């Protein structure tokens, strides 16, 4: 299933992520030793064990109450109503615009479980510059829900 996002809003989220000096990890990044603070050697890390300066800039593709993109930059970018994170909903899976069928779209495109996939800044920038954002996200997510193991759900998109 192909999802569509507001180009200008995605560019704004990307600019926020790239300007931030620290970034929030995805669940997979939380368990990646490359992102641990110096001296931390645990297999059961918590957010406090992560060095946010080591986590790369990017966007998170989130399947939750709809499907949306959000910056991983810290501090979070609030929306116009002061909510914690500005998000760019997939037009087809926005609960406010499609209150009757957003869940069916979310389940078909993302699966029934909630989750997040990391999309690296370089891939998003290239997609925005080449107007390939939809194809990039569709290809990345199609691969993610086509039988990949749950621990493989958070990864960097590879786009042309």
Using DSSP, state whether 86 is helix, strand or coil.
coil
The pLDDT confidence band at residue 145, using thresholds 50, 70 and 90, is very low
Instruction: Give the model confidence (pLDDT) of 40-95 as tens digits.
Output: 887 677 888 999 999 999 999 999 999 999 999 999 999 998 888 999 999 999 99
Contacts of range 78-84, beta carbons closer than 8 Å, 24 or more positions apart: none
Residue 63 CB-density burial (10 A; 0-12 exposed, 13-18 middle, 19+ buried):
buried
Contact between 153 and 119 under an 8 Å Cβ cutoff? The reply is no
Residue range 2-41, pLDDT digits in tens: 888 999 999 999 999 999 999 999 988 988 999 999 988 8
Q: What percent of the chain has pLDDT over 70?
A: 80
Using omega within 30 degrees of 0 as the cis cutoff, is the peptide bond preceding 3 cis? no
DSSP line for 101-151: THHHHHHHHH-SS-EEEEEEHHHHHHHHHTT-HHHHHHHHHHHHTTT--GG
- pTM for this prediction: 0.79
Buried b (16+ CB within 10 A) or exposed e, 79-99: eeeeeebbbbbbebbbbeebe
């Amino acid at each position: 299933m192909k999802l569509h996002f507001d180009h200008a809003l995605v560019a704004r989220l990307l600019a926020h992520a790239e300007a931030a000096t620290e970034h929030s990890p995805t669940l997979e990044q939380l368990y990646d030793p490359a992102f641990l603070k110096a001296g931390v050697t645990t297999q059961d890390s918590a957010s406090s064990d992560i060095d946010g300066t080591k986590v790369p800039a990017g966007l998170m593709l989130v399947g939750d109450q709809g499907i949306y993109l959000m910056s991983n930059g810290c501090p979070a970018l609030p929306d116009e109503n002061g909510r914690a994170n500005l998000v760019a909903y997939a037009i087809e899976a926005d609960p406010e615009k499609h209150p009757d069928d957003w869940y069916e779209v979310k389940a078909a495109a993302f699966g029934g479980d909630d989750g997040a996939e990391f999309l690296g800044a370089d891939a998003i920038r290239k997609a925005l510059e080449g107007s390939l954002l939809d194809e990039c996200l569709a290809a990345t997510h199609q691969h993610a829900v086509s039988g990949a193991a749950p621990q493989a759900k958070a990864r960097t998109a590879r786009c042309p």
